[in-house]
Amino acid sequence: MKPVTGVVLAAGLGKRMKSKRAKVLHELCGKPMISYVVEALKPVCDSIIAVVGHQADAVQDALRNEVHYAYQREQLGTAHALLQTKCLLQGFKGNVLVACGDTPFVTQGLFRELLGYHVSSGAAVTVATFHASDPTGYGRIIRDASGELKSIVEERDATDQEKGITEVNSGIYCFDCDSLFSALERTDRRNAQGEFYLTQAVEIMIRDGLPARCFVVNDPGIVEGINDRRQLAAAQKRMRLEILRKLMLSGVTVEDPETTYVDARATAGQDTVIRAGTRIEGASVIGEECDVGPDTCIIDSKLGNRCKVWYSVIEECILEDDVQVGPYSHLRPNSHLENSVYVGNFAEIKNTRVGEFTKVHHHCYLGDSIIGKKVNIGAGTVTVNYDGKRKHTTVIRDGAFVGCNANLIAPVTIGEGAYVAAGSTINKEVPEEALGIARSRQENKPGWAKKFLGRG
Ligand code: UD1
Ligand code: CA
């Protein structure tokens, strides 16, 4: 078969989004909408070109070297956009699949079927069309008496009679490369929007006597475009439920799909339960048999198997197996909890490694620390890691016991098996197996209360 190049048109700003950000960069379930289009094209194409213009740099940052780029300096219309790929496609003898960057529900299957139909029917151009319940805003498909494609009329150029047509242009096409560029170069701006229309190029090809076909898409949902933020919200919900559906079919329990958010790139293993009000964002990986939520947020983190996390926030952390966190704890970036670590409520842990079987009880702050195995961190323990200028490291070795409400002024080390007495403010090393105690001695005054209250 002839080679195939995919072209994604993505130079427009998307005025109706009322955004400073290019429309195709708006995210659905944590992924820019253009990435969905590129991913659907990728398996069908030998190479892909994105036509960029508005915020070209940001679009290139999002897609990186997954695609080649053509630059459209001024947005003069869809034909003009496609014409910008001429240099890159010089001498290319194959088919060109054209899509827009704002239709994130397109599938690999659609592109494959469209291409297959185009090749087997020997067409020079095939337009993917669908029957819209509300055709407003779309180009209408005009067929001749024998049902062959004659032209595509944009809404703003259409007569009232043409506006009544419900078969519309999806904006997805397959072209023979040579015929395409010859037609693109002959488009003009004589239309209501003063733009170079790609739809005019189709009409020019038909006038040239080249075979043109329509490929009718049965499920209009997959070619649905996003133009404004209401459609973005509706698309977000649809994508979210689709992700949850796949998770559930793969063996994950989703307690309340209505309130659960899992990003497109996140994964969860078999028999994991995701409870109500939970978000799993970014490239998070949740292992098997975990119990996550309710009301938990996990961002770009990796959880092993059998972890339990409830009412907590975890960002950019690694949790090994059988770790428990919460309720109401916050694990901040670059924390690594080894197997069977227990973190209680209202704890904050940042940039800290915690060894296996260590227990971190309530109201603790551990920052910039290295904590060994089987350590007990008493309630209210604080690593005093910041002196106003720099951050310092606290090291607590295996088996140490830190009593409640200790302040550990970093840099400081608590030796293996050492004890820190409750209420101590420690600023010197506590050697292994020693007791570090740093608090003023208690004094008792016999009979003081009785006298104070005048009781006899
Ligand atoms: C276009 C079609 C219309 C079709 C509809 C489907 C034309 C003239 N009309 O209309 O028949 O029903 O898509 O959604 O083609 N773009 C550029 N550079 C430009 C202009 C547009 O890159 O100069 C890109 C946009 O970023 C967008 C895509 O092309 O991704 C479509 O442009 P848009 O203005 O949304 O076209 P529609 O008016 O929707
Ligand atoms: Ca438009």
Q: Of the bound ligands, which one is closest to the alpha carbon of residue 139?
A: 1
Please say which residue of 175, 196, 222 terminates a domain: 222
In a domain, 244, yes or no: yes
Q: Which residue's alpha carbon is nearest to atom 35 within ligand 1?
A: 14
Same domain, yes or no, for 25 and 150? Answer: yes
User: From the CB of 139, is ligand 1 less than 6 Å away?
Assistant: yes
In a domain, 452, yes or no: no
Q: Which residue's alpha carbon is nearest to atom 20 within ligand 1?
A: 77
Same domain, yes or no, for 331 and 233? Answer: yes
Residue to substitute in 78, 80, 200 for testing ligand 1 pocket (most ligand atoms within 8 angstroms of CB): 78
Per-residue pLDDT reduced to its tens digit, 108-165: 999 999 999 999 999 999 999 999 999 998 999 999 999 999 999 999 999 999 999 9
Strand bridging mode 353-354 / 336-337: parallel
**Amino acid occupying residue 351:** N
Q: What CATH number does residue 132 fall under?
A: 3.90.550.10
E strand or H helix at 145, and its extent? none
Same domain, yes or no, for 270 and 205? Answer: no
- The three-state secondary structure class of 91 is coil
Same domain, yes or no, for 149 and 294? Answer: no
Q: Which two three-digit tokens encode residue 183? A: 């037609």
**Residue 1: what pLDDT?**
85
- The three-state secondary structure class of 79 is helix
Determine contact, residues 364/376, Cβ cutoff 8 Å: no
In a domain, 456, yes or no: no
Please say which residue of 222, 246, 279 terminates a domain: 222
pLDDT band of 392, cuts 50, 70, 90: very high
Q: Of the bound ligands, which one is closest to the alpha carbon of residue 137?
A: 1
pLDDT band of 14, cuts 50, 70, 90: confident
Cα gap 409→392, rounded to integer Å: 9
Ligand 1 center from residue 127 Cα (angstroms):
14
Cα gap 263→280, rounded to integer Å: 6
How far does CA 281 lie from the centroid of its chain?
7
User: From the CB of 436, is ligand 1 less than 6 Å away?
Assistant: no
Determine contact, residues 290/325, Cβ cutoff 8 Å: no
User: From the CB of 154, is ligand 1 less than 6 Å away?
Assistant: yes
Phi then psi for residue 17, to 5 deg, are -70, -20
163-183 average pLDDT score: 97
User: From the CB of 101, is ligand 1 less than 6 Å away?
Assistant: yes
pLDDT band of 13, cuts 50, 70, 90: confident
Cα gap 77→190, rounded to integer Å: 12
In a domain, 446, yes or no: no
Same domain, yes or no, for 250 and 141? Answer: no
In a domain, 445, yes or no: no
User: From the CB of 104, is ligand 1 less than 6 Å away?
Assistant: no
Split into its structural domains, the chain has a count of 2
Same domain, yes or no, for 311 and 424? Answer: yes
Cα gap 383→420, rounded to integer Å: 13
Same domain, yes or no, for 246 and 188? Answer: no
Strand bridging mode 47-52 / 4-10: parallel
pLDDT band of 455, cuts 50, 70, 90: confident
pLDDT band of 65, cuts 50, 70, 90: very high
- Expressed in percent and rounded to 5, the helix, strand and coil fractions of the chain are 25, 30, 45
The set of residues, in sequence order, having a beta carbon less than 8 Å from that of 296 and lying 6+ positions away, is 275, 277, 278, 279, 309, 310, 311, 312, 313, 314, 326
347-363 average pLDDT score: 97
Which ligand 1 atom is the nearest neighbour of the CA of 81?
18
**Residue 407: what pLDDT?**
98
**Residue 348: what pLDDT?**
98
User: From the CB of 33, is ligand 1 less than 6 Å away?
Assistant: no
Same domain, yes or no, for 267 and 180? Answer: no
Ligand 2 center from residue 128 Cα (angstroms):
18
User: From the CB of 51, is ligand 1 less than 6 Å away?
Assistant: yes
9-17 average pLDDT score: 92
Ligand 1 center from residue 207 Cα (angstroms):
22
Q: Which two three-digit tokens encode residue 148? A: 């062959």
Per-residue pLDDT reduced to its tens digit, 366-388: 999 999 999 999 999 999 999 99
To the query of whether residue 362 is one of the catalytic residues in this protein, the response is yes
Determine contact, residues 46/88, Cβ cutoff 8 Å: no
Q: Which two three-digit tokens encode residue 48? A: 């892909």
Ligand 2 center from residue 90 Cα (angstroms):
28
Q: Which residue's entry shows tokens 């956009």?
A: 81
Phi then psi for residue 149, to 5 deg, are -65, 130
In a domain, 453, yes or no: no
Per-residue pLDDT reduced to its tens digit, 209-259: 999 999 999 999 999 999 999 999 999 999 999 999 999 999 999 999 999
83-101 average pLDDT score: 97
User: From the CB of 402, is ligand 1 less than 6 Å away?
Assistant: no
The H helix count followed by the E strand count for the chain is 9, 41
Q: Which two three-digit tokens encode residue 228? A: 């404004």
Same domain, yes or no, for 151 and 281? Answer: no
| Residue-range definition of the domain harbouring residue 323 | 229-436
User: From the CB of 138, is ligand 1 less than 6 Å away?
Assistant: yes
Angle in degrees, CA 129, 102, 150, rounded to 5: 25
Residues linked to residue 4 through DSSP beta bridges, in sequence order: 95
**Residue 123: what pLDDT?**
98
Ligand 1 center from residue 95 Cα (angstroms):
20
Which ligand 1 atom is the nearest neighbour of the CA of 198?
15
Cα gap 319→353, rounded to integer Å: 10
Closest alpha carbon to 5 in 187, 210, 181, 202: 181
Residues in the chain: 456
Which ligand 1 atom is the nearest neighbour of the CA of 196?
8
The set of residues, in sequence order, having a beta carbon less than 8 Å from that of 126 and lying 6+ positions away, is 114, 117, 118, 173, 174, 212, 213, 214, 215
Per-residue pLDDT reduced to its tens digit, 304-329: 999 999 999 999 999 999 999 999 99
In a domain, 447, yes or no: no
Same domain, yes or no, for 411 and 335? Answer: yes
User: From the CB of 191, is ligand 1 less than 6 Å away?
Assistant: no
Same domain, yes or no, for 209 and 296? Answer: no
Same domain, yes or no, for 154 and 283? Answer: no
Q: Of the bound ligands, which one is closest to the alpha carbon of residue 74?
A: 1
294-303 average pLDDT score: 98
In a domain, 111, yes or no: yes
Please say which residue of 222, 244, 278 terminates a domain: 222
Ligand 1 center from residue 151 Cα (angstroms):
16
Which ligand 1 atom is the nearest neighbour of the CA of 100?
30
Q: What CATH number does residue 341 fall under?
A: 2.160.10.10
Q: 131, 336, 362, 363: which one is catalytic?
A: 362
